[in-house]
């Protein structure tokens, strides 16, 4: 009788220990998983020419234009650097605000910044390879740039992906824009507080945002936005 009680008590104790171990293990796994989800990984890629491609974005302090690199490194496809501090606050960048400047090296290796296109209408488009609406809207955006070649610039900024998949996506679609850049560390996405893919900012000749479009933007919507500015 007492032996049975001891056995039952020991089994109950083992059960509690086992459940406690499961709880701790699950908590550790969840914390680890959240760390992976919440953190932004950095990766170093060697391109076909054997050149180190460092996927690391940096916030530019006022007046800075370049990022210091390690000795012997060559940034063939240098990624986005967020520029002039914006006024996004908790509500994001809105119509009527100056678009924060940023710099990036395009997929073709050309270094550009948003301020380079002052005097022309800019469509700043945030996209990703996994985004169906991004894929759907890009051909129309390509046509818009062809139609308004002298008045409109499309800057297509990839959201937190590496060079190779971004290039493959663009080549598959057969589109070409004034600038196609990378933001693998999410600095510009954070600066503009972009939460939806795709998101397009329509920026006037004076650098002021005159429309923010969340989700897929149609050909007709782009025409309407552009013509409204050209007619003003």
Domain spans, the chain: 1-39, 43-230
What would the two tokens of residue 198 be?
């795709």
Helix segments in 151-218, DSSP class H: 163-173, 187-192
The rounded mean pLDDT for the chain is 72
Nearest to 110, CA basis, from 46, 31, 182: 182
For domain 43-230, give the fold.
Glutaredoxin (3.40.30)
pLDDT at 8 over 60: no
| CA distances, 208 to each of 28, 84, 101, 156, 179 (Å) | 47, 14, 11, 18, 19
Q: What is the pTM of this model?
A: 0.64
Could you tell me the pLDDT band of residue 12, with boundaries at 50, 70 and 90?
A: low
């Amino acid at each position: 009788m007492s032996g049975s009680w001891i056995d039952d008590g020991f089994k109950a104790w083992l059960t509690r220990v086992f459940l406690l171990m499961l709880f701790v293990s699950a908590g550790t796994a969840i914390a680890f998983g959240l760390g992976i989800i919440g953190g932004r990984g950095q990766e170093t890629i060697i391109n076909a020419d054997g050149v180190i491609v460092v996927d690391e974005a940096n916030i530019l302090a006022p007046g800075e234009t370049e990022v210091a690199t390690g000795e012997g490194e060559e940034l063939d496809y240098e990624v986005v650097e967020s520029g002039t501090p914006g006024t996004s606050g908790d509500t994001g960048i809105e119509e009527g605000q100056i678009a924060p400047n940023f710099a990036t090296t395009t997929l073709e290796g050309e270094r550009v910044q948003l301020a380079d296109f002052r005097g022309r209408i800019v469509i700043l488009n945030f996209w990703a390879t996994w985004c169906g609406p991004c894929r759907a809207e890009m051909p129309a955006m390509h046509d818009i740039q062809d139609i308004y070649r002298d008045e409109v610039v499309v800057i297509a900024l990839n959201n937190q992906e590496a060079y190779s998949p971004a290039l493959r996506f663009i080549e598959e679609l057969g589109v070409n824009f004034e600038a196609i850049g990378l933001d693998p560390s999410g600095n510009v996405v954070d600066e503009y507080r972009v939460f939806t893919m795709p998101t397009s900012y329509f920026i006037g000749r004076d650098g002021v945002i005159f429309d923010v479009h969340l989700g897929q933007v149609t050909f007709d919507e782009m025409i309407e936005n552009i013509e409204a500015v050209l007619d003003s």
